[in-house]
């Protein structure tokens, strides 16, 4: 692991702990060469944390360590820590040493005493081993043996002075319950808080039956630190603190590569598919085909040969495979080939933190490039309401940092929220793409509607599409919009058929009308012709008439002249030319 | 080995074979409680086992490795090595009765 360096902090002043999250909240680790107090109730993880800091120092920082065990026998401590994979047996040869200082139960004391022997023994041991880090686990066990408060103060002072003089990074753990932590300065060892440079509190509470572990750095001299109480888990590799702002978040690589969602039309709607490394949220009520949609994604990923992890909280992995096979998504072959790993997480109980850590571990083990979590809303179940959101956030941060494409589904509670997507986790806000599935209840039918509520950095269709599941797969269809209403399912089909019939009728009617018009036109043409003929006849008749009239006039005038001539009439009649 | 103080008070004058009480006292330099324990132990031995005891004194600050190998973390610590069983008591040894009881010496102390 690389040292986490805050630009303001010199590295030498911090003793790196190697604990994910802890180095971030303390700006690099424990105060180097100083003493830190670690307080927590029974079973809060003090010993594990302390041991892990020594292990990290020994393996990674060239700082051998001594573990002084006051309560638990060192053999038991080593045995208990076996599962973390710290290779303690190997470490114990040269870099990590245990000192058992468990007071015998039958110890008899008469009068005052001190820990001169212990300091002398530590002196010898630390010289011999060149130790730089020392843990005093459960110092309270021997402090309580001292006869009075003054003696306790004296011994704590001596121990502290001894550590400071040798510039050893000390970590003292103390058992204490909640009440103690709240009334720290009044407690028997309260005075320790004033002399140490750093105080870390661990608490372990049970909320609605779910164990929640929290850590808080209460004081840190000469350094800035995250003052909030942060959840932590003791996972497969030891401690992990849920620091939200991990540096990796900033450096997350952004890619514009698109990968298929497994549904062709959805890819089109999204302008090419999901972005690689994006986080996709699919919300919807129970039965809206959320699992199917995420299954389609897993199928597409495996087809591309990308290792995929499918975490199912609802049902068994084999059940999911069977159910998906019924809609033409055949995942069993990829499980066989090892490309796909199905995890049934129904049996995992515990806090949201636990889920996150397990999923991370599993994803790392599988080297998954695509991750499906179905549904992520399980996390917000009883007892996890407070932490689930930050867990979901960190899940997204984490997957982004690793370039893993994440598809989560989230079950909406039909009773609590009809408004789409008011998921209790509110991860819709931080997810990159948010697809909402809904039922449209019309005419005695439920049909599935799909809409893209948001998709960052992507032009996406704003239309609701109907999601159709068949044994050949998942398809999307345009919905039928009529009169401002969206129709789906049988209604859409009916409407479409009705439209087809109406179209045919219209066509026939149009044809008929054309024929009729043709006939009328022809008729009119005939009439026009006959009228034209008639017109011609009239014209001829008219000409003829004119002609006859004129010739008759001529005849008459000629006749008159003739008559006059014949009669010898007077030529001076004024009215005649 | 660092300096070791051994006192054999009166054992060479023993007329008959008798039980020798062997003690080892771990002290931490000149810490007041260590000095007090040494004084108390000497007085107790003088009173009860006048000529039949041996006291070995180990200063853990001078011999830190002894503290480590002997597993002595609290000082002063008195170990009764003989007669068996080995017994241990921590502190200034200020209450004689508790000390005698803890070291199972009540019966042998006159």
Where among A243, A277, A295 does a domain terminate? A243
Contact assessment for residue A203 and residue A181, using Cβ atoms and an 8 Å cutoff: yes
* Close Cβ partners of A81 (under 8 Å, ≥ 6 residues apart): A48, A51, A88
Chain A nearest-CA residue for B70: A121
DSSP string, A47-104: HHHHHHHHHHHHHHSS--EEEEESSS-HHHHHHHGGGG---HHHHHHHTEEEEE-PPP
A75 and A35, same domain (yes or no)? yes
Question: Using the beta-carbon criterion (under 8 Å), do B61 and A116 form an inter-chain contact?
Answer: yes
Block residue for tokens 């992520």: A376
Q: Which of B33, B67, B93 is opposite residue A114, by nearest beta carbon? A: B33
| Chain B residues within an 8 Å CB radius of A110 | 89-95, 98-99, 102
Beta strands (DSSP E) in A81-227 are 96-100, 108-109, 133-137, 169-175, 198-207, 210-220
Where among A243, A268, A289 does a domain terminate? A243
pLDDT by residue for chain A (577 residues), tens only, comes to: 444 444 444 445 888 888 878 888 888 888 888 999 998 888 888 888 899 998 888 888 888 999 999 888 888 888 888 888 888 888 888 788 888 888 877 788 888 888 888 889 888 888 888 889 999 998 888 888 888 888 888 888 889 999 999 889 999 998 876 665 555 555 666 778 888 889 888 888 776 666 778 888 888 888 888 877 777 878 777 877 776 554 444 455 677 888 888 888 888 888 888 888 888 888 887 778 888 888 999 999 999 999 999 988 877 888 888 888 888 888 889 989 989 988 887 655 667 777 777 788 888 888 888 999 888 777 666 556 666 777 777 788 888 888 889 888 887 654 444 444 444 556 667 778 888 888 777 767 778 888 888 887 777 777 778 888 887 778 887 776 666 666 777 777 777 788 888 888 899 999 999 999 999 999 999 999 999 999 999 999 999 999 898 888 888 888 877 777 777 766 555 554 4
Give the per-residue pLDDT at B59.
92
Q: What angle separates helix A385-401 from helix A352-366, to the nearest 10 degrees?
A: 20
A305 and A451, same domain (yes or no)? yes
- Bridge-based pairing state of the strands A108-109 and A279-284: unpaired
A220 and A264, same domain (yes or no)? no
CATH 3.40.30.10 fits B5-102, yes or no: yes
Length of chain B: 110
A174 and A273, same domain (yes or no)? no
| Chain B residues within an 8 Å CB radius of A99 | 68
A99 and A229, same domain (yes or no)? yes
Give the per-residue pLDDT at B25.
93
A274 and A171, same domain (yes or no)? no
Residues from A in contact with B at Cβ < 8 Å: 99-101, 103-104, 107-121, 123-125, 142, 145
Where among A213, A243, A273 does a domain terminate? A243
Spacing of C-alpha A355 from chain mean position: 14
Residue A251 falls inside a structural domain: no
A219 and A175, same domain (yes or no)? yes
Give the per-residue pLDDT at A11.
43
A189 and A266, same domain (yes or no)? no
What CATH number is associated with residue A131? 3.40.50.300
Residues from B in contact with A at Cβ < 8 Å: 26-29, 31, 33-34, 36-37, 40, 60-61, 63-65, 67-68, 71-77, 88-95, 98-99, 102
Domain residues of chain B, as ranges?
Answer: 5-102
Smallest Cα distance from B92 to chain A, Å: 5
Q: What span, in angstroms and rounded, lies between the C-alpha atoms of A18 and A4?
A: 9
| Chain B residues within an 8 Å CB radius of A113 | 33, 74-77, 90-92
Instruction: Please give, one letter per residue, the 3-state secondary structure of B34-83.
Output: HHHHHHHHHHHHHHHCCCCEEEEEEECCCCHHHHHHHCCCCECEEEEEEC
Q: What six digits make up the tokens of A126? A: 């630390």
Residue A452 falls inside a structural domain: yes
Structure ipTM: 0.79
Indicate the burial class of A544 (C-beta count within 10 angstroms; 0-12, 13-18, 19 or more).
Answer: exposed
| Chain B residues within an 8 Å CB radius of A115 | 73-75
Task: Provide the domain limits for residue A290.
Answer: 258-478
Question: Using the beta-carbon criterion (under 8 Å), do A118 and B67 form an inter-chain contact?
Answer: yes
A450 and A350, same domain (yes or no)? yes
Residue A518 falls inside a structural domain: no
Nearest to A57 by CA among A42, A47, A67: A67
Residue A141 falls inside a structural domain: yes
Domain count, chain A: 2
A192 and A273, same domain (yes or no)? no
A36 and A70, same domain (yes or no)? yes
| Chain B residues within an 8 Å CB radius of A104 | 88
Contact assessment for residue B108 and residue B97, using Cβ atoms and an 8 Å cutoff: no
Give the per-residue pLDDT at B110.
54
Average the pLDDT over B92-98 and give the result.
85
* Three-class secondary structure of residue A473 per DSSP: strand
| Chain A residues within an 8 Å CB radius of B37 | 111
Give the per-residue pLDDT at B10.
44
* Close Cβ partners of A115 (under 8 Å, ≥ 6 residues apart): A142, A155, A158, A159, B73, B74, B75
A303 and A414, same domain (yes or no)? yes
| Alpha helices in A208-289, H assignment, sequence order | 264-269
Q: Which of A108, A114, A125 is opposite residue B102, by nearest beta carbon? A: A108
Average the pLDDT over B67-90 and give the result.
87
Select the more confidently predicted residue: B56 or A489. Answer: B56
Residue A288 falls inside a structural domain: yes
Nearest to A408 by CA among A483, A444, A473, A356: A356
Question: Using the beta-carbon criterion (under 8 Å), do A114 and B95 form an inter-chain contact?
Answer: no
């Amino acid at each position: 692991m690389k040292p986490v360096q805050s630009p303001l902090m010199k590295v030498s002043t911090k003793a790196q702990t190697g604990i994910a999250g802890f180095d971030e909240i303390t700006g690099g680790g424990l105060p180097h060469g100083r003493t830190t107090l670690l307080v927590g109730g029974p079973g809060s993880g003090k010993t594990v944390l302390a041991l892990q800091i020594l292990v990290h120092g020994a393996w990674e920082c060239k700082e051998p360590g001594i573990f002084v065990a006051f309560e638990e026998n060192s053999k038991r401590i080593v045995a208990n820590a076996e599962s973390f994979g710290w290779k303690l047996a190997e470490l114990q040869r040269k870099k990590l040493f245990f000192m058992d200082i468990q007071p015998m139960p039958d110890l008899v004391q008469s009068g005052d005493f001190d820990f001169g022997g212990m300091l002398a023994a530590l002196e010898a041991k630390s010289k011999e081993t060149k130790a730089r880090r020392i843990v005093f686990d459960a110092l309270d066990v021997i402090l309580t043996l001292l006869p009075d408060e003054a003696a306790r103060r004296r011994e704590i002072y001596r121990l502290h002075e001894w550590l400071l003089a040798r510039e050893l990074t000390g970590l003292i753990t103390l058992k204490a319950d909640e009440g103690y932590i709240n009334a720290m300065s009044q407690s028997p060892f309260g005075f320790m808080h004033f002399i140490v440079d750093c105080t870390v509190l661990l608490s372990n509470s049970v909320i609605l039956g779910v164990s929640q572990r929290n850590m808080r750095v209460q004081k840190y001299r000469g350094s800035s630190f995250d003052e909030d109480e942060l959840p932590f888990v003791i996972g497969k590799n030891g401690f992990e603190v849920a620091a939200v702002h991990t540096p990796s978040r900033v450096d997350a690589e952004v890619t514009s590569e698109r990968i298929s969602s497994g549904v062709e039309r959805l890819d089109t709607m999204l302008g090419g598919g999901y972005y690689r490394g994006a986080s996709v949220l699919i919300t919807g009520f129970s039965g809206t085909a959320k699992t199917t949609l995420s299954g389609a994604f897993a199928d597409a990923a495996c087809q591309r040969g990308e290792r995929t992890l499918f975490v199912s909280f609802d049902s068994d992995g084999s059940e999911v495979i069977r159910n998906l096979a019924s809609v033409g998504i055949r995942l069993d072959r990829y499980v066989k080939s090892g490309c796909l790993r199905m995890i049934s997480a129904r049996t995992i109980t515990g806090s949201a933190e636990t889920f996150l850590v397990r999923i991370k571990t599993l994803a790392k083990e599988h080297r998954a490039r695509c991750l499906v979590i179905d549904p992520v809303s399980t996390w917000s179940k009883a007892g996890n309401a407070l932490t689930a959101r930050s867990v979901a956030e960190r899940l997204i941060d984490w997957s982004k940092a690793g370039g893993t494409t994440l598809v989560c589904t989230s079950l909406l509670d039909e009773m609590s929220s009809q408004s789409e997507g008011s998921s209790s986790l509110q991860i819709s806000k931080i997810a990159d793409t948010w697809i909402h599935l809904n039922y449209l209840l019309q005419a005695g039918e439920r049909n599935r509607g799909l809409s893209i509520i948001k998709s960052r950095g992507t032009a996406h269709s704003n239309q609701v599409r109907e999601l159709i599941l068949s044994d050949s797969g998942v398809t999307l269809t345009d919905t039928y919009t009529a009169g401002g209403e969206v129709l789906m399912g049988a209604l859409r089909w009916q409407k479409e058929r009705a439209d087809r019939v109406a179209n045919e009728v219209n066509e026939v009617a149009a044809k008929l009308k054309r024929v009729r018009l043709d006939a009328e036109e022809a008729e009119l043409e005939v009439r026009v012709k006959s009228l034209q003929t008639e017109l011609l006849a009239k014209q001829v008749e008219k000409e003829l008439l004119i002609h006859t009239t004129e010739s008759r006039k001529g005849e008459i005038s000629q006749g008159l002249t003739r008559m006059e001539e014949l009669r010898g009439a007077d030529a001076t009649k004024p009215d005649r030319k | 080995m660092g300096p070791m103080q051994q006192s054999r008070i009166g054992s060479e004058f023993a007329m008959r074979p008798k039980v020798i009480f062997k003690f080892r006292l771990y002290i931490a330099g000149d810490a007041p409680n260590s000095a007090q324990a040494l004084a108390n132990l000497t007085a107790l031995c003088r009173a009860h086992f006048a000529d039949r005891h041996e006291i070995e004194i180990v200063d853990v600050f001078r011999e830190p490795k002894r503290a480590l190998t002997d597993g002595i973390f609290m000082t002063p610590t008195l170990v009764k090595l003989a007669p068996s069983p080995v017994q241990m008591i921590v502190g200034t040894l200020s209450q004689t009765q508790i000390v005698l009881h803890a070291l199972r010496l009540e019966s042998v102390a006159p």
